[in-house]
Amino acid sequence: MNAKEIYAAKPWLKHYPEGVTDTVDIPALSVPDLFDQVAGKFADKTALIFYGKKINYEKLKEEIDRFATALSDLGVTQGDTVALYLLNCPQYVIAYFAALKIGAKITPMSPVYTSHEIKHQIQDSDAMTVVCQDILYDNVEKTGIVLKNVILTNIAEYLPALKKILGKSAFGKVYGDLHVPTPKFIKEAGLIQFQDLIKKYQPNPPKVTINPVKDIAALPYTGGTTGLPKAAILTHANMVALQAQVRTFWPFFEEGNELVIAFLPFFHIYGQVVVMLGSLCQGFTMVLFTTPDIDDILSAMERYQASAFYGVPTLYEYLKEYEKTDRVNWKRLKLIACGADTLHESTIEAWERRTGTKIFEGYGMTETTAISHGSPIHRPKKGSFGVPLPGMKAAIVEYEGMNFVPPGEVGELILSGPNIMQGYWKREEGTREALIDIDGEKWLRTGDLVSMDEEGYFHFFDRKRDLIKFKGYSVFARHVEEVLYNHPKIKAAGVVGVPDPKVGQLIKAYVVLESEARGKISEEEIMNFCKENLAHYKVPKIIEFRGELPKTDVGKVSRRELREEAEET
């Protein structure tokens, strides 16, 4: 078989868990239809636990319907965009499903965005209604945009009575430079209170016909290689398909009988689709955290007997050394999952020694509605992010061409499946570059450099944009970072290419040392360590020590920011 035929044969299917097939039954439903089915089935079951406050599915559905009725009365109609500028809280869930129920689409905004970033997303997504945390309203006001509706909500509204004062003071510390609008200001500015709408309106939203295949559910924004973020167009069918694919791949989860800790931010596709939708579309109980306080999370895992844990590499890197990690009986969990970035092998090994459990890596992106690959539960492979989910097609092509490359060789990952986005919002050229046609079928060029081994497991090397060209050699930034992370005194590292007219790009490493090693280890020592563990052309030519490195919203080192800094200097 040639390379193309090998991928078409899906060699990974041989390593699916027993009983898992490539066939996925995708219901022809919208996201709110799927939720309503589950809410009817598990009406009395607890849907959300928010710092001790419990909300069952019946009550949650009622509040969603009340808010949907309110949005409709405020003039939000089918096809409109509702922006969610919220921390993780019950209001996020309510506003999300309510907007979708009346045929609107949501665009989630990061709570750490500046007013400049907020302005871009509101204008680009055509949002005229914003549901906003009151402590974040400053940034909306500073955009200067005239909006149709600004709905304010306070984090304390769904806290238990005893925790309301505590909650206000705690979030005041986190967002100390932002002020809460006064009742007088709210009235004069024409702002609307979330709770006023919930109390005023009955749970009677208008009946709206949603075409799951055509109608957009969400416009999540994803960082571009350059310039401002762009939105992936995700339909209801994309989201419902992803839920069906995951359920097929992980059949050990029992509908209505699991508990998930939800601290990953809902504005990010991982927290939104895998954690929030994955829980509420299967009748699970979700324990919500507004801020990722490690002690509170670990306590909640034992108190509520969590059955699944979804994290990111930086969290596992922290937990493997954290003194209180052993308070959790990790062996009791059905799944310990990791996504959003590559997990370093040193972290995996230390975690396994510490807890006696395995972390199951996955792969996905905003454009794949969060996931495309996962590690088979009975047979994870270290250094691999697993195999394609049921219903997915995956292949690898030349990263500077279109020819398929054979197993073992590195190229660009391309994907096809029911969870692939429809394109980029208002970005025709970007859509044409990302979505390509092969034999009449739509494929996504991911921009990620990977390889597939003979068994059909996939291995990540780097983002295409992070590939460093030094004297004609191709150097994977991640490969150099892996070596740096193996140094006993290096806490964090980021590697980028710096333009150089003589060699193409110089390799520069930004290094954060463990606190006790700072001032005691030189750049030369780090270079010598690299020389012992890397081919000569992969050794960094510049080492810069830092106290910390810039991070993305989900905690991975932001090579884009490091690259921009390096190019400026």
CA–CA gap between residue 132 and residue 142 (Å, rounded): 14
For residue range 252-284, list pLDDT tens digits in order: 999 999 999 999 999 999 999 999 999 999 999
pLDDT the model gives residue 163? 64
For residue range 325-381, list pLDDT tens digits in order: 999 999 999 999 999 888 888 889 999 999 999 999 999 999 999 999 999 999 999
Mean pLDDT along residues 11-30 = 96
CA–CA gap between residue 480 and residue 327 (Å, rounded): 34
Asked if residue 191 belongs to a domain, the reply is yes
CA–CA gap between residue 59 and residue 461 (Å, rounded): 46
Last residue in a domain, options 418, 440, 462: 462
Same domain, 126 and 234: no
End-to-end CA distance of the chain: 50
CA–CA gap between residue 237 and residue 215 (Å, rounded): 8
pTM across the whole model = 0.88
* Opening angle at CA 534, ends 528 and 537, nearest 5: 95
Residue ranges making up the domain that contains 154? 31-209
Q: Are 252 and 221 in contact (CB under 8 A)?
A: no
**Which tokens sit at 406?**
């054979």
Query: Does pLDDT of 466 surpass 90?
Result: no
Same domain, 437 and 516: no
Residue 131: closest CA among 111, 161, 114: 111
Query: Does 470 or 282 have the greater pLDDT score?
Result: 282
Q: Are 462 and 538 in contact (CB under 8 A)?
A: no
Residue 509: closest CA among 465, 562, 464: 562
Query: Does pLDDT of 224 surpass 70?
Result: no
CA–CA gap between residue 480 and residue 533 (Å, rounded): 9
Residue 341: closest CA among 303, 312, 319, 321: 312
CATH number at residue 521: 3.30.300.30
Same domain, 282 and 413: yes
Q: Are 129 and 102 in contact (CB under 8 A)?
A: no
Mean pLDDT along residues 488-492 = 92
For residue range 303-328, list pLDDT tens digits in order: 999 999 999 988 998 999 999 999 99
Same domain, 507 and 410: no
Q: How many other C-beta atoms lie within 10 A of the C-beta of residue 123?
A: 11
Q: What is the DSSP string of 236-256?
A: HHHHHHHHHHHHHH-TTSPTT
Q: What is the DSSP string of 273-321?
A: IIIIIHHHTTT-EEEE-SS--HHHHHHHHHHTT-SEEEE-HHHHHHHTT
Query: Does pLDDT of 510 surpass 80?
Result: yes
Q: 338 forms bridges with which residues in the sheet? A: 311, 361
Asked if residue 397 belongs to a domain, the reply is yes
Same domain, 155 and 284: no
Same domain, 301 and 264: yes
Last residue in a domain, options 421, 440, 462: 462
Asked if residue 218 belongs to a domain, the reply is no
For residue range 147-173, list pLDDT tens digits in order: 999 999 999 999 987 666 555 555 555
CATH number at residue 181: 3.40.50.980
Q: Are 412 and 464 in contact (CB under 8 A)?
A: yes
pLDDT the model gives residue 226? 44
Same domain, 143 and 271: no
Q: Are 233 and 239 in contact (CB under 8 A)?
A: no
Asked if residue 124 belongs to a domain, the reply is yes
Asked if residue 341 belongs to a domain, the reply is yes
* Opening angle at CA 430, ends 429 and 435, nearest 5: 105
Among 181-185, 213-217, 341-345, 504-508, name the most confident range: 213-217
Residue 399 pLDDT grade (very low, low, confident, very high; cuts 50, 70, 90)? confident
Asked if residue 357 belongs to a domain, the reply is yes
Long-range pairs for 529-535: beta carbons < 8 A, 24 or more residues apart: 529/483, 529/487, 530/480, 530/483, 530/484, 533/483, 533/486, 534/479, 534/480, 534/483
Domains of the chain: total: 3
Compute CA distances 396 → 68, 341, 413, 422, 476, whole Å: 44, 20, 5, 21, 17
Mean pLDDT for the chain overall: 92
For residue range 289-298, list pLDDT tens digits in order: 998 899 999 9
Asked if residue 118 belongs to a domain, the reply is yes
Mean pLDDT along residues 468-478 = 83
Same domain, 141 and 177: yes
CA–CA gap between residue 93 and residue 280 (Å, rounded): 9
413's CB contacts (< 8 A; 6+ apart) are 394, 395, 396, 446, 448, 449, 450, 458
Query: Does 1 or 122 have the greater pLDDT score?
Result: 122
For residue range 177-203, list pLDDT tens digits in order: 567 888 888 888 899 999 999 999 999
Last residue in a domain, options 179, 209, 239: 209
CA atoms within 13 A on the CB side of 166: 7
pLDDT the model gives residue 225? 40
pLDDT over 70 percentage in the chain = 96
Asked if residue 413 belongs to a domain, the reply is yes
Same domain, 114 and 157: yes
Same domain, 425 and 489: no
Q: What are phi and psi of 456, to 5 degrees?
A: 90, 10
Same domain, 530 and 426: no
Same domain, 449 and 487: no
CATH number at residue 257: 3.40.50.12780
